[in-house]
Chain A
Amino acid sequence: MMRFLLPAGVFAVLVALLWVGLGLNPRELPSPLIDKPAPAFERPTLADPSRTLSTEDMKGQVWLLNVWASWCASCRMEHPLFVELSRQGVVPIVGLNYKDRREDALAWLQQFGNPYAVVVTDEDGKVGIDYGVYGVPETYLIDRDGIVRYKQVGPVTREVLRDKILPLIEELKG
């Protein structure tokens, strides 16, 4: 009996480990920022570089930080969702224009619509480093106390928005 049970047991453990391990997406790094304060920044706005927006200004409200760039192809994929979300006025969306040229960014917003309450610029990617950005687009959900609650690497999809982000927003607002 042992002869069959033991290999069968080892096999079952192996299957379980591989099942979980191969199901993980190796491109998705667990962010060390979750449940930690969002790194502070104060950056010039895209619309008017003489004015700035800081993380301090966003305290007291639940908000989304969306890292995007005009050169980023998959940003176009998620963009209509943000336009839709901004129309519903669920939460303010702050755009972080990552390593981009101002005129390109403005033209891009002109073409695809502007869902952002404010867009701030990060030409040299310094804010990006603080947030651990490695693949644009990235989206962060930040709560009233300025704590990062969720991070999406890569484009936000309708499913992610419906199943993760929106329920979390409800919870954080409630």
Chain B
Amino acid sequence: MKRLLILLLGAWLLVPQLSLAVQSEFDLDPEQEDRFRELTKELRCPKCQNQSIFDSHAGVAADLRREIIRQIREGKSNEEIVEYMVARYGDFVRYRPAFDGRTALLWIGPFVLMAVGAGVLVWQIRKRRRLADAASLDEAQRARVRALLNESEEGRP
């Protein structure tokens, strides 16, 4: 049991080394590697939709990773690479699509909804306050209420 645990621990410690080995296979310098990581996490895999190209095991994600590495080595900028992907797979591949006419609703929508919500809230609070003010009694009315209440109290069996 103990030996098994030690073995497992050893294997677990090896994991980061293994992934490093995979990375170095790409043959990128550390700065390029950072860019590769940044780009592949920023781009969405068209096949398994809620994974980035970095995470996905889909064949097309692997191809796109290879393509990104090739372009980084060629000296393409991040913008050029993202543009390349968008030209082929559409805005969909970007987790944060560029702001334009079609994506405006996506970007502004939540804020508009929030503003509408806040507006409704303020409106309701004001309305309630007005109702509360209207419902308050002056001294004479209060005295009458007390008198009425006492009266009914006395009237009880």
A residues engaging B (CB < 8 A)?
Answer: 26-27, 29-33, 99, 124-125, 128-135
Contacts and interface: CB of A to CB of B under 8 A. Distances in A.
Nearest to A30: B90
Q: How large is the interface on B (under 10, 10 to 19, 20 to 34, 35 or more residues)?
A: 10 to 19
Nearest to A131: B88
Nearest to B60: A134
Contacts of A99: 59
Contact of A125 (B49, B63, B87, B92): B63
Contacts of B99: none
Contacts, number: 40
Contact of B92 (A29, A130, A135): A29
Given A26-B49, A27-B49, A29-B46, A132 B90 contact: yes
Interface of B: 46-47, 49, 59-60, 63-64, 67, 86-92
Contact of A128 (B63, B86, B91, B92): B63
Nearest to B63: A125
A4 to B, nearest CB: 16
Contact of B88 (A30, A124, A132, A135): A132
A116 B54 CA distance: 36
20 contacts: A27-B49, A29-B89, A29-B92, A32-B87, A32-B88, A32-B89, A125-B59, A125-B63, A128-B60, A129-B64, A129-B67, A129-B88, A130-B88, A132-B46, A133-B60, A134-B46, A134-B47, A134-B89, A135-B46, A135-B47
